[in-house]
Amino acid sequence: MNSTVLTGCTVVDARVLDGVAPLRDAAVWVRGDRIAAVGPADDVLAEAGRDHRRVDLGGAFVTPGLANMHTHLSLSLPGQGGDAVKGLSPHDLAFYMADGARRTLLCGVTTVRCVAEKDHADFALRRAVTAGRAAGPRIFTAGRALVSTGGHGHEGTDTLECDGADGFRQGVRSQVKAGADLIKVMISGGIAGEHEDIDTRQLFTDELTAVIETAHAWGRKVTAHAGPAPVIAEAVELGLDCVEHGYQLTPEVVAAMAARGTALVPTLLVTRCKAFFDELGVPEWMQRRSLGAGPRHLESYALALAAGVEVLLGSDMPPFWDFEGTNATVRELEHMSDAGLGPARALYAGTLGPIRWLGAEADLGTVEPGKYADLIAMDADPLESTSAFRGVRWVMSGGRIVRDDQNGRAAL
């Protein structure tokens, strides 16, 4: 069994919100794919004995890897860039997504939640990553998102058109059969649908009830693409577990979300990313709708924070995408922090919070013995500024070092 001791570091994770102070002059002993010990360097080195590799992180801050809860590795927005992805053959798509997974891992995102991927290629990619045949983050996936006929995203093979309560029940079961960890449903219009508005209602009550009841019966949580307050309010009342975007929230809706424990993945980037849209050739109608929704989107996010809604990191843009001097994941987390969350809560929103929603906290989310060794290191303190994550220079996944800038190489 491989044995590695990480020294020369300060260990910090989201438990700071519970009073667990950062551990300075620390060491982390990794045995196999899990953390064996964390503590003062001398104590950990003595416990690890002689038979180990020692890695000096040069004073870095070590945190759990980031978890991106709104990921599309096969994203194809309207425009030339999206058309190129839509035109990929199934074989080309698999390689395209595998490359995206590798790049995602290298930027320090060690867990993703996919919320609509094409042709069920995400399941094959998950199997390949788990088996070690492909490099990438741990993948939790919804498979294909459920939509009404003609609903948001219906044009692609990353959605499944359903109608009526029975149709949506069958849709949920089809994704569970394929191996889905959760269910994604589109309950309103959005910014990428030319023949709809953000506040277009797309499911009736019996259909929404069928999705949530069926998914919960199978032990799967449900997250919903949703913009307007009325449809979100109804979904929350029916037991929705998570809202994606939430462009038009109200005080009443966020109060209900907080009371029922419905999380929000705000994806603030999607209404403030003109350079990304220009790069992909996104048409003017979509850019106007997206950027025009930005101020109200930010107001909704502020309402959610004030009400105590749990907010979780999710970029919608590909997690690894180079954007405004960093990657999309870190840029989203910066927006969340700067808009009222603050660095400590942003650390939670980007690590332990998502892991708890996924039900994986026994294995991930903190730097503790027994957890998987999914770790990242940076030179600046993430409790001082969320922008510290721009400086991620070292990544470990399941006990394997996959990036090490200090030695001038990426291992993948």
Question: Where do the structural domains in the chain lie, given as residue ranges?
Answer: 3-65+365-410, 66-358
Confidence (pLDDT) at 409: 63
pLDDT for 196 beyond 90: no
pLDDT band, very low/low/confident/very high, at 153 (cuts 50, 70, 90): confident
Considering the entire predicted model, what is its pTM?
Answer: 0.96
114 bridge partner residues: 71, 141
What is the average pLDDT across 288-316?
96
What SS3 class is residue 32? coil
DSSP assignment, residue 272? S
pLDDT 10s digits, 17-38 = 999 999 999 999 999 999 999 9
Instruction: Retrieve residue 217's tokens.
Output: 């019966």
139 bridge partner residues: 112
Whole-angstrom CA distances from 313 to 23, 264, 357 are 25, 9, 11
Q: What percent of the chain has pLDDT over 90?
A: 92
Confidence (pLDDT) at 8: 97
Nearest-angstrom CA–CA distance, 332 and 208:
29
Report the chain's mean pLDDT, rounded to a whole number. Answer: 96
pLDDT band, very low/low/confident/very high, at 194 (cuts 50, 70, 90): confident
67-69-75 Cα angle (round to 5): 115
pLDDT 10s digits, 236-282 = 999 999 999 999 999 999 999 999 999 999 999 999 999 999 999 99
Topology of domain 3-65+365-410, CATH: Urease, subunit C; domain 1 (2.30.40)
Confidence (pLDDT) at 342: 98
Are 249 and 303 a contacting pair, CB within 8 Å? yes
Find where tokens 């994550």 sit.
389
pLDDT 10s digits, 209-233 = 999 999 999 999 999 999 899 999 9
pLDDT band, very low/low/confident/very high, at 360 (cuts 50, 70, 90): very high
Burial of residue 275 (number of CB atoms within 10 Å: 0-12, 13-18, 19+): exposed
Helix (H) or strand (E) holding 216: helix 205-217
Instruction: Retrieve residue 33's tokens.
Output: 């794919």
| Residues 214, 217, 219, 225, CA torsion sign | positive
Are 208 and 230 a contacting pair, CB within 8 Å? no
pLDDT for 385 beyond 80: yes
Confidence (pLDDT) at 161: 97
Nearest-angstrom CA–CA distance, 242 and 311:
9
CATH superfamily of the domain spanning 66-358:
Metal-dependent hydrolases (3.20.20.140)
